[in-house]
């Protein structure tokens, strides 16, 4: 099964295992927005519907339902925010 994170304007595929998200072009998912750190967070695809997110010491944090957290376990369909962007974890087929 394939997964992705989607924002209002973009879709980014998630590979199996660890995905690094940040502003750096070296990240698995590069989001060139100044308020996103070079290596902002990791998304670990744990199973078909479980994802572990971990803030990697970013300047602006990881938010779940408006609350800043250092890590979280999310399910398909859940939302999270980094910088000014809110993402949803989706099945790539959806």
DSSP code string of 32-93: --TTS-TT-EEEEEEETTEEEEEE-S-SS-EEETTEEESEEEEETT-EEEETTEEEEEEETT
The band of 47, judged by pLDDT with boundaries at 50, 70 and 90, is confident
Q: Looking at the predicted structure, is the pLDDT value of residue 56 above 80? A: yes
Mean pLDDT of 22-50: 94
pTM for this prediction: 0.93
pLDDT at 94: 54
The band of 76, judged by pLDDT with boundaries at 50, 70 and 90, is very high
pLDDT at 82: 97
């Amino acid at each position: 099964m394939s997964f992705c994170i989607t924002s209002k304007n973009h879709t980014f595929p998630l590979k199996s295992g660890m995905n690094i998200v940040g502003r750096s072009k070296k990240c698995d998912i590069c989001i060139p927005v100044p308020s996103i750190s070079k290596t902002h967070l990791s998304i670990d695809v744990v199973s078909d519907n479980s994802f572990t997110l971990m803030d990697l010491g970013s300047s602006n944090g990881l938010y779940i339902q408006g609350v800043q957290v250092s890590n979280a376990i999310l399910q398909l369909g859940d939302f999270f925010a980094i910088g000014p962007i809110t993402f949803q974890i989706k099945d790539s087929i959806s």
